[in-house]
Structure 1
Amino acid sequence: MAAYSYSSILPNVSCTRMAVMPPAALNRDYKMRVPYELKQGQNRLFHKLPSGLNMEVIGQKGLNLKDPDEKRVLSKHPPLVFIHGSFHAAWCWAEHWLPFFSQKGYDCYALSLLGQGESDAPNGSVAGSLQTHAGDVADFIQKELMLPPVLIGHSFGGLIVQYYIATMKNEEFSNIGSLHPYLSGAVLVCSVPPSGNSGLVWRYLFSKPIAAFKVTRSLAAKAFQTSLPLCKETFFSAVMEDHLVLRYQKLMTESSRMPMFDLRKLNASLPVPSVPNSSFKILVLGANDDFIVDAEGLSETGRFYSVPPACLEGVAHDMMLDCSWEKGANVILSWLNGLKVNEAI
Structure 2
Amino acid sequence: MSSILSLHSTSLLSTTSYSTKLTVKSQAVLERTPKMGATYELKQGQNRFFHELPTGLKMEVICQKGVEFKDPERKCGNTPLVFVHGSFHAAWCWAEHWLPFFSGSGFDCYAVSLLAQGESDAPAGSVAGSLETHAGDIADFISKEIKSPPVLLGHSFGGLIVQYYLANLGNGQLPDTQDAYPKVSGAVLVCSVPPSGNSGLVWRYLFSKPIAAFKVTRSLAAKVFQTDLPLCKETFFSAVMDDHLVLSYQQLMKESLRLPLFDLRKLNKSLPVPQAPRSIKILVLGASDDFIVDTEGLSETGRFYAVPPVCVEGIAHDMMLDYSWEKGAKVILSWLKNLS
Q: Deviations over 1:246-292 (max 9, x none)?
A: 000000000001100000000000000012x3231000000000000
Tell me the equivalent position of 2:90.
Answer: 89
SS at match of 1:261: coil
Aligned residue type for 1:298 = L
- 5 Å-filtered alignment, 1:185-204, equals 185-204=186-205
Q: Kindly tell me: are residues 26 and 54 of structure 1, through their superposed partners in 2, closer, same or farther at Cα, counting changes over 3 Å?
A: closer
Runs of 4 or more consecutive aligned structure 1 residues displaced over 6 Å after TM superposition: none
Tell whether 2:43 aligns with 1:46.
no
Q: Kindly tell me: are residues 47 and 26 of structure 1, through their superposed partners in 2, closer, same or farther at Cα, counting changes over 3 Å?
A: closer
Tell me the equivalent position of 1:57.
Answer: 61
Question: What's the TM-score, normalizing by structure 2?
Answer: 0.89
CA drift of 1:176 comes to 9.2
Q: Kindly tell me: are residues 213 and 142 of structure 1, through their superposed partners in 2, closer, same or farther at Cα, counting changes over 3 Å?
A: same
**Contact 2:77 / 2:336 at 8 angstroms: preserved in 1?**
no
Of 204-213 and 23-32, the range deviating more from structure 2:
23-32
- 5 Å-filtered alignment, 1:1-345, equals 24-25=28-29, 28-67=32-71, 77-168=78-169, 173-174=171-172, 178-275=179-276, 277-340=277-340
Q: Distance in 2 between matches of 1:308 and 1:39?
A: 35
Q: Distance in 2 between matches of 1:154 and 1:241?
A: 22
Aligned residue type for 2:82 = V
Q: Deviations over 1:280-331 (max 9, x none)?
A: 1000000000000000000000000000000011000000000000000000
CA drift of 1:174 comes to 3.3
Q: Distance in 1 between matches of 2:141 and 2:72?
A: 35
CA drift of 1:175 comes to 8.0
SS at match of 1:187: strand
Q: Distance in 2 between matches of 1:79 and 1:300?
A: 28
**Contact 2:75 / 2:105 at 8 angstroms: preserved in 1?**
no
Identity of counterpart residues, as a percentage? 75
CA drift of 1:133 comes to 0.1
Q: Distance in 2 between matches of 1:83 and 1:111?
A: 6
Question: What's the TM-score, normalizing by structure 1?
Answer: 0.87
Structure 2 gap ranges (5+): 1-25
Q: Deviations over 1:109-140 (max 9, x none)?
A: 00000000000000000000000000000000
What number of residue pairs does the alignment pair up? Answer: 312
**Contact 2:85 / 2:154 at 8 angstroms: preserved in 1?**
yes
Q: Deviations over 1:196-221 (max 9, x none)?
A: 00000000000000000000000000
Q: Deviations over 1:41-61 (max 9, x none)?
A: 101100000000000000000
